[in-house]
Chain A
């Protein structure tokens, strides 16, 4: 139980941490001030979520590692985030396409997790779901604005979506480790809301005059530590300071 929960809390926490770090790369570079604020705010929410989930992971592991230790002193093979969140930002449209797929999924996930039998997971989800609803709305609105915008914005967001689409199936994949926690009523069964996610995504894409991308061979492996090259580069920047100066305090 401790080990399974450790792994699950890492999956939840690493999704938020890695996407939060990715989005923070936009800080000071976004196309408009309002977008800069939006992406920085979303990043902040995600990093807040990861703090709670990684704290839980540390407690489940029982080796005295806190959230910061898990975030900054773990190597790439020990990260359990999905491949979607580690994908590079690309242009603004590609960033929005990634956020669109992820936030719609995370919102449905947290709605389920609010009923987790593990109180701490239920509490984190109940609190965060309100914030994630904002993220979903932001991403959905931008999908429509870009897709139903100019020829260039349409082409860019279609490209971004096409790239991100292959990582969507992994969001719903359930393996043996997860199956046990689902049986215990602790983890959410993502297969239950795949249909609802599809409906949401299809509707926004229709409003955005975008085609649903053609099915592709799904890229998976993040949940067992098989990552794309991008994650290592992200971590090298994120982890540099605490690794170079162990025990550094503000």
Chain B
């Protein structure tokens, strides 16, 4: 089957519907669309899905691409090709509002919107459990490249903070 350009709306809808159900392997509460890993679906023959890595050294990058490939293939969209781009670099501002809410509900303090530029200067993460902003940093490096360890001084709960980048 030849897919005619421009992309039909239904193909775009189908692709994004599938991708919105592909979880991040490290933080499965959010999808690759929520995180802003999926950047574009470009017209052409075949159409190309453009994705971007989050952190340079993120070991999940390969797994993410493989899961996207498998999900597309499984949904009958095997004709889409996948292209990885580094530019413009991904920042935490690419995470959708929906994605931020899912992170919070999961217990990970999301990065404040629009904070990527000032990321290195004293970001205070609100506790995802009680909402207090009376928190402190335990360790700037956490269990994955994208997270830092913080602790809430109000309720005493330690929590992960998605690093602003």
Residues of A within 8 A of B (CB): 34, 37-38, 40-42, 44-49, 52, 119-120, 122-124, 126-128, 130-131, 133-134, 137-138
Contacts A126-B87, A126-B89 given; does A131 touch B139 at CB 8 Å: no
Measured CB to CB, the closest approach of chain B to A225, in angstroms, equals 26
Do residues A46 and B57 form an inter-chain contact, with CB atoms below 8 A?
A: yes
- Chain A binding surface SS class: helix
Contacts between chains A and B (CB distance < 8 A), count: 69
Residues of B within 8 A of A (CB): 55-59, 85-90, 119-120, 138-143, 145, 149, 165
Do residues A44 and B89 form an inter-chain contact, with CB atoms below 8 A?
A: no
A40 and B57 alpha carbons, distance in the complex (Å): 11
Do residues B139 and A38 form an inter-chain contact, with CB atoms below 8 A?
A: yes
Contacts A37-B141, A41-B141 given; does A131 touch B56 at CB 8 Å: yes
A248 and B118 alpha carbons, distance in the complex (Å): 44
Do residues A48 and B58 form an inter-chain contact, with CB atoms below 8 A?
A: yes
**Please, which residues of chain A bring their CB within 8 A of the CB of B142?**
37, 41
**Among B59, B87, B140, which residue has its beta carbon within 8 angstroms of that of A123?**
B87
Do residues B57 and A34 form an inter-chain contact, with CB atoms below 8 A?
A: no
**Please, which residues of chain A bring their CB within 8 A of the CB of B120?**
133-134, 137
Contacts A48-B56, A120-B86, A130-B119 given; does A37 touch B145 at CB 8 Å: no
Do residues B141 and A49 form an inter-chain contact, with CB atoms below 8 A?
A: no
Q: Which residue among B90, B120, B140, B165 has the maximum number of chain A CB atoms within 10 Å of its CB? A: B140
**Among B88, B145, B165, which residue has its beta carbon within 8 angstroms of that of A41?**
B145
Contacts A49-B57, A52-B56, A123-B86 given; does A130 touch B145 at CB 8 Å: no
